[in-house]
Structure 1
Amino acid sequence: MHCLGLMSGTSADGVDAVLVHFDGSPQHPKWSLLRHHHQPYPLELQQQVVAAGQGAAMPASSWLELAEAITEVQAQAVQACDPTATAELIGCHGQTVWHRPPAQGARGASWQILQAPLLAHLLQRPVVHDFRAADLALGGQGAPLVPRADAALLGRTQGWRALLNLGGIANLTLIPPCGGVDRHAAILGWDCGPANSLIDLGMRQFTNGAQSFDKGGAMAAQGHADEGWIQRWLQEEYFQLAPPKSTGRECFGQDDLNRRLHQLDGASAADAIATLTAFSAAVVAQDLARLRQSVGIAPIELITAGGGSQNPVLIDELRRRCRGAQIDESSSLRVPTEAREALVFALLAWWHHREHPGNAPTVTGAKREAVLGVRVNPA
């Protein structure tokens, strides 16, 4: 079956679309990535998405227009990726504008803005969307949803395999080895903290909007990281939480950036970006160190994906801080770095079609497994 997956993440740079063929058993699918396309958000839309994700007040009419604009860009991404309309099913994550994990006995909630009936109508194909709701209803975090799909798509190796997505937020998947005492262990995963969210906001601020990200790590490479503040920041509440845990731009957004820049007390733009870049690597390294200390799990490889995998300064910081794990890109496993999450949502749509559960309770904290997503047929 041909499925098309759509992902627009917390980096808010646009929509990634992948066309994939799935066959075989849901647990061990055979798959082929046929095409990948990135559809950038227009600048004004990107700015609106970033503002919405940080709690900007907007009238109802603006929310409606934002949902329509996001849906139209999703449709454009599909049409560019699959011009002959070969996909039988579309899996669309939608654009997260607010994520509230469960806390202190209160249920969690997460809003991925999308007009799914409009998307199904524009494409004249069924759309599966709202993937997080079932897990949240079962008491889970609703995120991250990639770990179970990662394990099915990429498989196992001789030791623990870690996959690190470096989008706006850094999230980890840990896949048990194919042999040895841990071969029956559960898949693990969680959101570590900021990857590109603070770096991107900092670049916009320091360049007056001329640069929306640190291309090639050029700014960070010119600066020096303040290790003292990095170590202080690592003691903050979120970084002390044990999994399951999830987060987003509502925690690591403009207000958080402003606080950190104030603490850096007039650091140059280059030093500030270097510090934020090293901090993104440090939160991952701290989580992996705690995993090793608490349960003795040490991954032998760390596979990176997402926009941050193209930042050599960030990757060098990961190599320096995550010693013992070989670091490589997901492209080494047949998955282009920018396509991994869209591929996951293509698989989740196929799993929905096959009535196969998509969440991992050991990751999200949900009471049980569930088939994820809601299907909308063309009007």
Structure 2
Amino acid sequence: MRVLGLMSGTSADGVDAVLAAFSGPPRRPRWRLLSRAGVPYPDDLRQRLIAAGQGQPIQAADVIELGEALTEVQAAAARACDPNGSAQLVGCHGQTLWHRPPQGERRGSSWQLLQGPLLAQLLQRPVVFDFRAADLALGGQGAPLVPAADAALLPAIGGWRALLNLGGIANLTLLPPQAGPDRTAAVQGWDCGPANTLLDLAAAQFSAGERRFDADGAWAAQGQVDEALVQRWLQEPYLQQAPPKSTGRELFGQPDLQRRLRELEAAADRRDQRLEPADALATLTAFTAAVVAQDLARGPAVLELLVAGGGARNATLMAELRLRCRGLQLRALAELGIGESDREALAFALLAWWHHHGVSGSLPSVTGAAQPAVLGVCAHPSL
């Protein structure tokens, strides 16, 4: 079956699309990645999505228009990836505007903006969307959902294998080894903390909006890391919290960046220095890598770390990861045939295929839900 997967992550920079073919047993399917495409959000739409995702007040009429505009870009990405309309099904994550993990007796909730029926009508294909709600209703985090797909699509190796996505948020999947006492262990996964959210916001602020991100980490490479601040930040409550856990811009957004910049400025003042943008970016980049390294150190010993997401193109961030994650092999997920922007779109294609077959797509070992669930709601086009 040919399935389109559409994904827009916390960075809110656009839509990644893949066309994949799935067949065989659901838990270990045969799969091929047939094509891929990426469509950026127009600047105005991106800014409005980021503002809404950081809690800026928005009128109901604007939410409707935002949802329509976003859905049209999702449709454009689908057409760019599958111009002949060969897909029989579409899996679309939508754009997360707000994510509230469960806390105590309070259940979690998550808002992925998308007009699913409109997308189905535009593409004339069934669209599976709203993937997080069923897991949240069962007491889970509703995220991350990609680890289940990682376990199904990637083979086990001789030791624990980790997959790191460096999108807006850094998240990890840990896959058990193919043999030995841990071979029956549960798949693990969680959101580590910030990746590109703080880096992109800082680059835009320091460049007065001329740069949307620090290309290749070149700006950060010119600066000096404030290691004392990095180590202090690592003690923050979310970063010390044990999984299951998930997060987003509501915690690591513009207000969080401003707090960290104030702390960097205060540290520079104590040294009778002025805070340089390169030093701030170097410290934020090192912080992202340090968060990942801290999380890896708490779990089972990992043999290999596969990296995907936009942050995999940041040479300075990758160098910091190699420095801080010693003792394991670090390489790009692209070496296994899944490009750095393909992994999450491919995962939501698989989740849609699972939905079509009535197969559960969530892992309670990752989300903390009471039980697995078939994920998503399917919208069909009108004939």
Query: Which band: TM-score by shorter chain?
Result: over 0.9
Among the aligned pairs, what percent are the same residue?
Answer: 64
Residues in 2 aligned to 1:326 and 1:267: alpha-carbon distance in whole angstroms: 35
Residues in 2 aligned to 1:353 and 1:179: alpha-carbon distance in whole angstroms: 32
Residues in 2 aligned to 1:41 and 1:329: alpha-carbon distance in whole angstroms: 26
CA shift at 1:267, angstroms?
A: 1.7
Mean CA deviation greater in 93-102 or 57-66: 57-66
TM (norm. structure 1) is 0.98
Which amino acid letter does the alignment assign opposite residue 113 of structure 2? I
Residues in 2 aligned to 1:368 and 1:336: alpha-carbon distance in whole angstroms: 31
Could you list the per-position Cα deviations for residues 148-205 of structure 1 after superposition, in whole angstroms to 9, with x for gaps in the alignment? 1101011211100000000000000000000011000000000000011000000010
Residues in 1 aligned to 2:130 and 2:117: alpha-carbon distance in whole angstroms: 12
Equivalent position SS for 2:173: strand
Which amino acid letter does the alignment assign opposite residue 316 of structure 1? A
The match for 1:150 is 150
Could you list the per-position Cα deviations for residues 276-302 of structure 1 after superposition, in whole angstroms to 9, with x for gaps in the alignment? 0000000000111122xxxxx111000
CA shift at 1:112, angstroms?
A: 0.1
Of the three residues 290, 294, 302, the one matched with 1:286 is: 294
Of the three residues 367, 372, 376, the one matched with 2:370 is: 367
| Matched ranges for 1:75-94 at <5 A | 75-94=75-94
The match for 1:351 is 354
Residues in 2 aligned to 1:358 and 1:333: alpha-carbon distance in whole angstroms: 23
Q: Any runs of at least 4 consecutive aligned residues in structure 1 with deviations exceeding 6 A, and if so which?
A: none
Say whether residues 1:269 and 2:272 are aligned partners.
no
Equivalent position SS for 1:57: coil
CA shift at 1:332, angstroms?
A: 1.1
Unaligned runs of 5+ residues in structure 2 are 266-273
The match for 2:46 is 46
| Matched ranges for 1:190-269 at <5 A | 190-265=190-265, 266-269=274-277
CA shift at 1:361, angstroms?
A: 0.2
Residues in 2 aligned to 1:162 and 1:85: alpha-carbon distance in whole angstroms: 35
The match for 2:303 is 300
Which amino acid letter does the alignment assign opposite residue 207 of structure 2? T
Residues in 2 aligned to 1:23 and 1:207: alpha-carbon distance in whole angstroms: 48
Residues in 2 aligned to 1:155 and 1:174: alpha-carbon distance in whole angstroms: 12
Residues in 2 aligned to 1:59 and 1:72: alpha-carbon distance in whole angstroms: 20
The match for 2:269 is none
Which amino acid letter does the alignment assign opposite residue 164 of structure 1? L
Which amino acid letter does the alignment assign opposite residue 111 of structure 1? W
The match for 1:32 is 32
CA shift at 1:228, angstroms?
A: 0.5
Could you list the per-position Cα deviations for residues 6-62 of structure 1 after superposition, in whole angstroms to 9, with x for gaps in the alignment? 000001110000000001010110000000100000000110111010001011111
Mean CA deviation greater in 324-333 or 167-176: 324-333
Which amino acid letter does the alignment assign opposite residue 289 of structure 1? A
Residues in 1 aligned to 2:111 and 2:179: alpha-carbon distance in whole angstroms: 39
The match for 1:337 is 340
Residues in 2 aligned to 1:276 and 1:365: alpha-carbon distance in whole angstroms: 30
Which amino acid letter does the alignment assign opposite residue 311 of structure 1? N
Unaligned runs of 5+ residues in structure 1 are 292-296
Residues in 2 aligned to 1:156 and 1:208: alpha-carbon distance in whole angstroms: 46
Equivalent position SS for 1:244: coil
Which amino acid letter does the alignment assign opposite residue 282 of structure 2? A
The match for 1:326 is 329
CA shift at 1:319, angstroms?
A: 0.6
Could you list the per-position Cα deviations for residues 235-288 of structure 1 after superposition, in whole angstroms to 9, with x for gaps in the alignment? 001011000000001100000000000000152100000000000000000111
CA shift at 1:206, angstroms?
A: 0.4
Residues in 1 aligned to 2:296 and 2:240: alpha-carbon distance in whole angstroms: 13
Equivalent position SS for 1:264: helix
Of the three residues 315, 319, 343, the one matched with 1:316 is: 319
TM (norm. structure 2) is 0.97
The match for 2:381 is 378
Equivalent position SS for 2:307: strand
CA shift at 1:104, angstroms?
A: 1.6
Which amino acid letter does the alignment assign opposite residue 125 of structure 1? R
CA shift at 1:324, angstroms?
A: 1.0
Equivalent position SS for 1:172: strand
Q: What is the aligned-residue RMSD (CA, Å)?
A: 0.6
Residues in 2 aligned to 1:166 and 1:19: alpha-carbon distance in whole angstroms: 22
